[in-house]
Amino acid sequence: MPSHSSNPGGASRVRRRALLGTAVLVVLVALAGLAAYLTRDGRGSSKAEAPPASSSSPSSSAASPSGSPSPRSHHRSLPTPPDTHDPIAFGKAAAEALWSYDTRAYSQAELLTALHRWLTTETKYADPASVDAVVPSPVLWKEMAANDQFATAKVNEGHFPNSFTQALQANPGTITQAYVYAVTVSGKQSIAWKGSSAGGAENRVTTLAVQCRPSHPCALAGVMPSVAP
């Protein structure tokens, strides 16, 4: 959604996004898509798709043989961030959390609240709007909940993008400003819903900005609008 100067909330989001982009720019001078992160809202590229039967996705193994949702005891709990100082390990956990949901177990607002707990407490680097963009909207969530739709994710791997590694090797001291790392994660998201026989699945890949200061466990800074290989 484009920001307008007459909208204080939109202006605040733009300023926060610019600060996060600046922190990453210190070590990502060659990172593809960073310029877009500084100049546009990332919602368009990371927004979850809409159709209840083919939007976001959990694994078909979570559904019963008849295709009905699994028993209540199998419902997924809200995601909690890991206590780690490893940006790749944190990025993989964050991607799994962002690609998973369960409309049977909690509301859209509850999921957003849980995901915001993954964000760094340094507000000048945190970009909650980029996290909100990957969660289905309240209207879509309501439609998905009517079909008991849920999603699970399997992470295959995570790594620092080549451009990030090269920039960091060229000037290793630059990371000490904000300790924001770029982490690219790939995996598979699967979906299931009431009445589905097998659900559906799709490959996923995303680049996250992860803050890992030496004195604090890692936290999420934001979701980049484009993937850095």
Over residues 131-141, the pLDDT tens digits come to: 999 999 999 99
pLDDT tens per residue, range 95-149: 999 999 999 999 999 999 999 999 999 999 999 999 999 999 999 999 999 999 9
Measured distance CA(107)–CA(74) in Å, rounded: 17
- Using a 10 angstrom Cβ sphere, with 0-12 exposed, 13-18 middle and 19 or more buried, the burial of residue 188 is middle
Q: Work out the number of other CB atoms within 10 angstroms of the CB of residue 53.
A: 13
Residue 87 placed within a domain: yes
Contact residues for 27 (Cβ-Cβ < 8 A; gap 6+) = 164, 167, 168, 171, 174, 175, 180, 181, 182
Q: Which domain holds residue 115?
A: 8-70+80-223
| Helix segments in 56-185, DSSP class H | 87-98, 108-116, 128-132, 138-146, 162-170
Residue 1 placed within a domain: no
Measured distance CA(77)–CA(68) in Å, rounded: 19
More confident residue, 77 or 75: 77
Three-state DSSP class for residue 99: coil
Number of domains in the chain: 1
Edge-first strand order for the sheet with 180-192 is 101-102, 150-159, 180-192, 200-211, 219-223
Whether the pLDDT of residue 211 is over 60: the answer is yes
Token reading at 17: 């996004």
Tell me what the pLDDT averaged over the chain comes to: 78
Torsions phi, psi of 155, nearest 5? -90, 130
Measured distance CA(62)–CA(194) in Å, rounded: 12
Closest CA to 151 of 119, 189, 203: 189
Q: What is the pTM of this model?
A: 0.73
